[in-house]
């Protein structure tokens, strides 16, 4: 009798182990299926525009040369798409950037700023009085209207829930060269030619930006896309020495 009880106990333990394994695999599979349904968005393209400009320092009649602080900038527009038609699960409640890290270049001082989309591609930038530098996080105000009247103020971060506007950012590498002097009798072109004539190697101003793009939907699901943005200093046609460089990146396979 005692032997039968022991065998029954062993049998029940084995059955219990088998059931634990079966339900564990089922739970894992269900989690994988849930994760698969969470993919609601993709990045359709990122548009980059890189160029060079300079701040003109004060000069005098006795010292009439050009005196310049040279900087390089890159404007970025990140476009999003939904993977499916608009529904409750892809309705955007919140969108923000965080975990921002800039891979420093050998020359200059680097910073990332929110960019008013109406200022995209503009070379003038007041670095000292700009209040839009992103230190660790940038949260957008999500707007549910379509802005058909085109009267929205973009001086603060705004994102339309219908994905009709891109996320716009400005990378600045300032003070690459400080107090660079050029005779006022020489022609000065305020673009990448300044770097070339000053002997700045493009390798010395290479940089990357790392960050997470986060979307929270109306059902409180969090969707995260890790971004790695290479600051473009040349394309297939030319380098920044020859003027503004444009690149469109659209080969994103990751969905989120």
Please report whether residue 19 resides in a domain.
yes
Q: Are strands 137-143 and 158-160 parallel, antiparallel or unpaired?
A: parallel
Of 174, 160, 159, nearest in space to 115 by CA: 159
Please report, in tens digits, the pLDDT of each residue of the chain (256 residues total): 555 545 545 655 666 666 566 555 555 544 444 444 468 888 999 999 999 999 888 766 666 788 899 999 999 999 999 888 888 788 999 999 999 999 999 999 999 999 999 999 988 887 777 788 998 899 999 988 665 555 567 888 999 998 889 999 999 999 999 998 888 777 888 899 999 999 999 999 999 999 999 999 988 899 999 999 999 999 999 999 999 999 999 887 777 8
Please report whether residue 255 resides in a domain.
no
Is residue 14 located within the same domain as residue 71? no
Give the count of domains, the chain.
Answer: 2
Is residue 157 located within the same domain as residue 78? yes
Rounded (to 5) percent helix, strand, coil in the chain? 20, 40, 40
Is residue 7 located within the same domain as residue 133? no
Range of the domain at 102: 41-249
């Amino acid at each position: 009798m005692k032997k039968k009880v022991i065998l029954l106990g062993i049998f029940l333990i084995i059955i219990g182990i088998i059931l634990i394994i079966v339900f564990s695999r089922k739970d894992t599979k269900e989690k994988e299926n849930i994760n698969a349904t969470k993919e609601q968005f993709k990045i359709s393209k990122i548009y980059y525009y890189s160029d060079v400009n300079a701040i003109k320092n004060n000069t005098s009649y006795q010292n009439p040369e050009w005196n310049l602080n040279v900087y390089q900038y890159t404007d970025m527009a990140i476009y999003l798409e939904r993977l499916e038609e608009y529904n409750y699960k892809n309705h955007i409640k919140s969108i923000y950037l965080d975990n921002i890290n800039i891979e420093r270049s050998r020359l200059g001082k680097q910073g990332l700023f929110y960019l008013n989309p109406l200022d995209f591609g503009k070379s003038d930038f007041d670095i000292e009085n700009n209040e839009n530098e992103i230190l660790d996080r940038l949260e957008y105000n999500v707007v549910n209207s379509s802005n058909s009247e085109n009267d929205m103020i973009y001086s603060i971060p705004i994102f339309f829930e219908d994905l009709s506007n891109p996320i716009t950012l400005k990378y600045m590498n300032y003070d690459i060269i400080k107090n660079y002097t050029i005779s006022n009798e020489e022609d000065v072109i305020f673009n990448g030619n300044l770097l070339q004539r000053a002997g700045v190697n493009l390798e010395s101003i290479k940089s990357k930006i790392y960050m997470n793009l986060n979307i929270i939907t109306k059902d409180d699901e969090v969707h995260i896309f890790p971004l790695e943005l290479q600051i473009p200093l040349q394309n297939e046609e030319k380098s920044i020495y020859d003027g503004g460089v444009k690149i469109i990146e659209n080969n994103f396979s990751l969905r989120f």
